[in-house]
């Protein structure tokens, strides 16, 4: 367990540093893009990217998560067979991912021709389909590097890709080359990122196109419930933007899409963290089932419970102050990034941050359903959430425009979290302990009160003050201890 904790801390620290650098570069690129395009043309971009992301999630069809789980289970196999199993699995999973992405993004481009969108959006969908194609393959390699605790390679590709996108966007703006060239910058950046990860991976795995159809059938038998659940999840996650585009002008979609885009950037850290711990949870659960008649079963269950609780606490530690802080500084964030023309997005960001906080924690339980191999059983929950979301969108978007979309998303994420928490407890008889959650909420409330009083200060001063306040109060409440801090620095240094 100490060795696992050391690996997780070390790789999470690398990912955190890389994520901070990448987010800064990405925010600069988005800022230039928003200021150059304005709300209307940014609305065109938001519609195009939302349209493609629906097909992108279907193209993934759960392969990202099944890769993490599969590599985790391989760890309990005999050592001499592990590399061969990894080579075989990775080659076939890469082949599946490649051709599914090719088919579904191609289908997206064709279907867009039949939608009542202006030509500028349809051409945008075509250009961005290449960007998301490479993004899908990047996610595949990221899952492998996370499992192998080689996150430095993810860092190199991501940072270089963001540098390229920022540089190209700045260059295209200087020469005023227009909307399509801005989109092309993302294509070229993701291509470079993909090539870096691909050639780095070939040094660790004998990667090739492989068509083991018996393995494919085995994978599809496991992932179809995951894929269907994810497809349903993305319908209510992305349908809001598309439905909004039918009832509101492109500028309104631009306001909503801008706030949503920043939200998507911030949710990356919890997802990266889960990429590190989910294989370990899968390994502990699989070992428990394999040794169900021995003492090891009790030990593995204890290990599973411990990793789960630490994961829950970590996500709470991020989610709660993020929500309270965003309510105070959300407007300043959007004004800094998009300029005064996107001031409406600042108000929207406050609401969307609630959905982000719920998603931070809810994603843990979504991925645990795969670890428990209960993805089929929770499909009714996803069906119900999708229907509820669509009904909400079609009722409230025509009445309240982007506000109806934002609050419906918050409500659905809250109900999803409750439903998955209930089902997780039903299967494992494990509930997360709430001591740390209560301390985190109390610390965040004090932080919120202080930041609200000094809300006219500079944004960066407010963010720094908020971080110091939150962790200081959490420390005084013994939410984190000296031992935790020592262990953190020990794991980062050693």
pLDDT in tens, 23-37: 788 888 889 999 999
pLDDT confidence of 97, banded at 50, 70, 90? Answer: confident
Predicted local distance difference test score (pLDDT) of residue 494: 42
Instruction: Evaluate if residue 38 carries a pLDDT over 80.
Output: yes
Q: What is the largest CA-CA distance in the chain?
A: 70
Predicted local distance difference test score (pLDDT) of residue 23: 75
CA–CA distance, 434 with 226 (Å, rounded to integer): 29
Percent of the residues in the chain that have a pLDDT greater than 90, as a whole number: 30
Nearest to 260 by CA among 376, 405, 101: 405
Nearest to 8 by CA among 487, 478, 432: 487
Instruction: Evaluate if residue 292 carries a pLDDT over 60.
Output: no
Instruction: Evaluate if residue 348 carries a pLDDT over 50.
Output: yes
Predicted local distance difference test score (pLDDT) of residue 296: 58
Query: For residue 240, what is the enclosing H or E element?
Result: helix 213-247
CA–CA distance, 338 with 258 (Å, rounded to integer): 8
Characterize 481-493 residue by residue with b for buried, 16 or more Cβ atoms within 10 angstroms of its Cβ, and e for exposed: eeeeeeeeeebee
Contact 413, 362 (CB under 8 A): yes
Question: Among 160-164, 201-205, 269-273, 432-436, where is mean pLDDT lowest?
Answer: 269-273
pLDDT in tens, 320-343: 999 999 999 988 888 888 888 888
pLDDT in tens, 248-264: 899 999 999 888 877 77
CA–CA distance, 323 with 350 (Å, rounded to integer): 8
Full-model pTM: 0.78
Mean per-residue pLDDT, 278-289: 72
pLDDT confidence of 306, banded at 50, 70, 90? Answer: confident
CA–CA distance, 250 with 401 (Å, rounded to integer): 12
Instruction: Evaluate if residue 289 carries a pLDDT over 60.
Output: no
Mean per-residue pLDDT, 185-200: 88
| Spacing of C-alpha 62 from chain mean position | 13
Characterize 180-192 residue by residue with b for buried, 16 or more Cβ atoms within 10 angstroms of its Cβ, and e for exposed: ebbbbbbbbbbbb
pLDDT in tens, 7-17: 555 555 556 66
73: left (phi over 0), alpha (psi -120 to 50) or beta: alpha
DSSP 44: H
Question: Among 76-80, 158-162, 464-468, where is mean pLDDT lowest?
Answer: 76-80
Give the Cβ contact number of residue 31 at 10 Å.
Answer: 17
Handedness of CA 119, 188, 168, 142 (dihedral sign): positive
**In the chain, where the domains are located:** 2-433, 434-494
Contact 335, 342 (CB under 8 A): yes
Q: Which tokens hold the place of 131?
A: 């960007």
Mean per-residue pLDDT, 55-72: 65
Nearest to 147 by CA among 103, 61, 82, 97: 82
Q: What is the mean pLDDT of the chain?
A: 81
Predicted local distance difference test score (pLDDT) of residue 492: 35
Mean per-residue pLDDT, 121-125: 95
Contact 31, 338 (CB under 8 A): yes
| Spacing of C-alpha 55 from chain mean position | 16
Predicted local distance difference test score (pLDDT) of residue 343: 84
């Amino acid at each position: 367990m100490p060795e696992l904790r050391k690996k997780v801390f070390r790789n999470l620290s690398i990912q955190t540093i890389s994520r901070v650098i990448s987010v800064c570069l990405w925010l600069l690129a988005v800022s230039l893009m928003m200021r150059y395009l304005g709300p209307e043309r940014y609305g065109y971009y938001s519609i195009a990217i939302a349209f493609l992301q629906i097909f992108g999630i279907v193209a993934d069809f759960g392969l990202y998560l099944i890769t993490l789980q599969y590599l985790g289970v391989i760890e309990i196999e005999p050592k001499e067979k592990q590399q061969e199993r990894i080579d075989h699995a990775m080659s076939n999973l890469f082949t599946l991912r490649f051709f599914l992405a090719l088919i579904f993004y191609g289908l997206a481009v064709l279907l867009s021709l039949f939608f009542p969108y202006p030509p500028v959006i349809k051409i945008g969908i075509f250009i961005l389909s290449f960007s998301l194609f490479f993004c899908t393959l990047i996610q595949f390699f990221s899952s492998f590097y996370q499992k192998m605790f080689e996150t430095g390679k993810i860092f190199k590709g991501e940072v270089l890709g963001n540098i390229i996108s920022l540089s190209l966007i700045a260059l295209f703006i200087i020469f005023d080359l227009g909307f399509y060239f801005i989109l092309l910058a993302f294509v070229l950046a993701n291509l470079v990122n993909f090539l870096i990860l691909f050639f780095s991976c070939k040094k660790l795995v004998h990667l090739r196109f492989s068509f083991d159809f018996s393995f494919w059938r085995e994978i599809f038998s496991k992932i179809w419930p995951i894929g269907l659940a994810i497809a349903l999840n993305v319908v209510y996650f992305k349908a809001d933007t598309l439905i909004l585009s039918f009832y509101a002008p492109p500028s309104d979609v631009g306001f909503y899409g801008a706030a949503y885009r920043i939200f998507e950037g911030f949710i990356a850290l919890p997802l990266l963290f889960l990429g590190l711990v989910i294989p370990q949870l899968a390994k502990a659960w699989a070992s428990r089932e394999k040794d169900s008649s021995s003492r090891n079963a009790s030990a593995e269950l204890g290990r599973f419970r411990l990793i789960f609780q630490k994961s829950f606490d970590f996500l709470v530690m991020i989610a709660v102050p993020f929500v309270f802080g965003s309510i105070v500084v959300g407007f300043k964030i959007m004004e800094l990034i998009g300029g005064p023309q996107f001031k409406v997005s600042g108000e929207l960001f406050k609401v969307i941050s609630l959905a982000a906080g719920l998603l931070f924690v809810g994603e843990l339980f979504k991925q645990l359903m795969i670890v428990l191999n209960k993805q089929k059983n929770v499909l009714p929950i996803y069906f119900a959430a999708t229907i509820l979301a669509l009904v909400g969108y079609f009722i409230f978007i025509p009445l309240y425009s982007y506000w109806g979309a934002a609050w419906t998303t918050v409500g659905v994420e809250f109900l999803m979290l409750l439903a998955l928490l209930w089902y997780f407890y039903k299967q494992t008889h494990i509930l997360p302990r709430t001591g740390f959650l209560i301390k985190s909420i109390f610390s965040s409330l004090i932080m919120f009160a202080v930041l609200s009083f000094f809300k006219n200060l500079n944004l960066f001063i407010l963010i720094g003050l908020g971080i110091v306040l939150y962790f200081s109060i959490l420390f005084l409440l013994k939410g984190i201890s000296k031992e935790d801090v020592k262990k953190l620095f020990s794991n980062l240094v050693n």
